[in-house]
């Protein structure tokens, strides 16, 4: 694991922002941080990046303790904060040259040109950043995070303020960076974005609620349901389904039946046969797929009951 935390804790006065957090990140994979506002996602990122120290516990990032050797960590990470800071009176290129100077890059100009073009900012390289829109500043911040070829990227709301087309381009860039071997920690409120990008999801609410792949979370939280859309549903059909001993549960949403089977692989074909015999005219048979939003809300509801 390229990142590990051990009872990572951070307090701000009496407020507990991060509570004994234990998680891992796999090298070359995208780990998503999900949680409500104030859950500690950004605070966790800042501790992993060596920007603030934990109150107790510790993290290890590529073999380095950020609280002990922050400068070494800064050499191997790129970070995009939710509110990236730039010198508004300097041009985009001059801003990047200034930040690149911290890394003593021999090819800084080439890297700056490469990513400004990738982010479609090359034509505005000489313009003052103060004239940029929020979306343009966000693209510039991603450029800044990449110019020194970091091993790990911390991205806090990377598509915030971007229009849908640019957001999709940024997501494509993130996927490409992952394929190239970058480890990415992604904090986002956009659940569809997390589902599209992340190999694993860490749901955080001060403490870690869970850490797993979206597929495993679905299996853990939800029973398999078969969705059968029909031309119409009458009471005789409902009664016929209710009598089947392998049907654990069933419900109806307009002209669609949601059926939980004891063993879907064994019983689904017989279920379809029985529906047809009962006069049902089937339009479509699919498996219900629970979205990441369903998973997220279920986990937080479970956590509130504890």
**The pairing of beta strand 77-80 with beta strand 15-21:** unpaired
Which of the four CATH numbers 3.40.50.300, 3.30.70.20, 3.30.420.40, 3.40.720.10 does domain 3-219 have?
Answer: 3.40.50.300
Q: What is the pLDDT of residue 303?
A: 61
How are the residues of the chain apportioned to helix, strand and coil, as percentages rounded to the nearest 5?
40, 25, 30
Q: Could you tell me which of 245, 275, 248, 270 has the C-alpha nearest to residue 259?
A: 248
**Residue range(s) in the chain whose domain bears CATH number 3.40.50.300:** 3-219
Would you give per-residue pLDDT tens digits along the chain (306 residues)?
999 999 999 999 999 999 999 999 999 999 999 888 888 999 999 999 999 999 999 999 999 999 999 999 999 999 988 777 899 999 999 999 999 988 888 889 999 999 899 888 999 999 999 999 877 888 899 899 988 989 999 999 888 777 888 788 888 888 988 998 999 999 988 888 888 899 999 988 888 888 888 878 877 777 778 889 999 898 888 988 898 999 988 888 888 998 888 888 888 999 999 899 888 899 999 888 777 777 777 777 766 544
pLDDT of residue 306: 46
pLDDT at position 73 is: 95
CA 129, 140, 37, 12 torsion-angle sign:
negative
Query: In the structure, how many helices (H) and strands (E) does the chain have?
Result: 11, 14
19 three-state secondary structure:
strand
Distance of CA 145 to the CA centre of its chain: 18
pLDDT of residue 82: 73
- The Cα 56–Cα 84 span in angstroms is 27
Residues in CB range of 277: below 8 A, 6 or more apart: 240
- Report the pLDDT value the prediction gives residue 59, as an integer from 0 to 100: 97
For the beta sheet containing 247-253, the strands, ordered from the edge strand earlier in sequence to the opposite edge, are 247-253, 256-261, 226-230, 282-287
Q: Which of 297, 157, 208, 170 is nearest to 8 (CA)?
A: 208
Residue 154 tokens read as: 């911390």
| Residue ranges matching CATH 3.30.70.100 in the chain | 223-289
In this prediction, residue 304 carries a pLDDT of: 58
Q: How far apart are CA 265 and CA 271, in angstroms?
A: 11
In 13-76, which ranges are E strands? 15-21, 24-25, 30-34, 56-61
pLDDT of residue 163: 80
Question: Torsion angle of alpha carbons 37, 169, 1, 189, nearest 10°?
Answer: 10
Pick the CATH number of 223-289 from 3.40.50.720, 3.40.1280.10, 3.30.70.100, 3.30.420.240: 3.30.70.100
């Amino acid at each position: 694991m390229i990142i590990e935390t051990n009872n990572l804790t951070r307090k701000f006065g009496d407020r507990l922002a991060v509570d004994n957090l234990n998680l891992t990140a796999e090298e070359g994979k995208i780990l998503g941080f999900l949680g409500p506002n104030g859950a500690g996602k950004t605070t966790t990122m800042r501790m992993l990046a060596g920007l603030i120290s934990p109150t107790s516990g510790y993290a290890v990032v590529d073999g380095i303790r950020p609280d002990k050797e922050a400068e070494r960590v800064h050499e191997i990470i790129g970070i995009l904060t939710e509110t990236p800071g730039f010198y508004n009176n300097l041009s985009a290129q001059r801003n990047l040259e200034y930040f690149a100077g911290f890394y003593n890059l021999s090819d800084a100009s080439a890297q700056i040109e490469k990513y400004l073009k990738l982010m479609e900012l090359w034509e505005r390289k000489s313009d003052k950043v103060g004239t940029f829109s929020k979306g343009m500043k966000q693209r510039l911040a991603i450029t800044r995070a990449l110019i020194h070829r970091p091993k790990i990227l911390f991205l806090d709301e990377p598509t915030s303020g971007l229009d849908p087309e640019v957001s999709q381009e940024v997501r494509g860039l993130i996927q490409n960076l992952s394929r190239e071997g970058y480890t990415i920690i992604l904090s986002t409120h956009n659940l569809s974005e997390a589902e599209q990008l992340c190999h694993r999801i860490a749901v955080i609410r001060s403490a870690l609620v869970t850490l797993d792949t979206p597929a495993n979370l679905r299996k853990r939280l939800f029973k398999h349901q078969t969705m059968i859309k029909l031309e119409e549903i009458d009471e005789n059909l409902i009664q016929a389904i209710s009598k089947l001993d392998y049907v654990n549960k069933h419900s109806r949403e307009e002209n669609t039946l949601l059926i939980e089977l004891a063993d879907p692989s064994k019983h689904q074909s017989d279920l379809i046969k029985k529906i047809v015999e009962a006069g049902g005219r089937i339009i479509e048979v699919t498996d219900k797929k629970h979205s990441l939003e369903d998973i997220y809300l279920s986990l937080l509801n479970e956590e509130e009951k504890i």
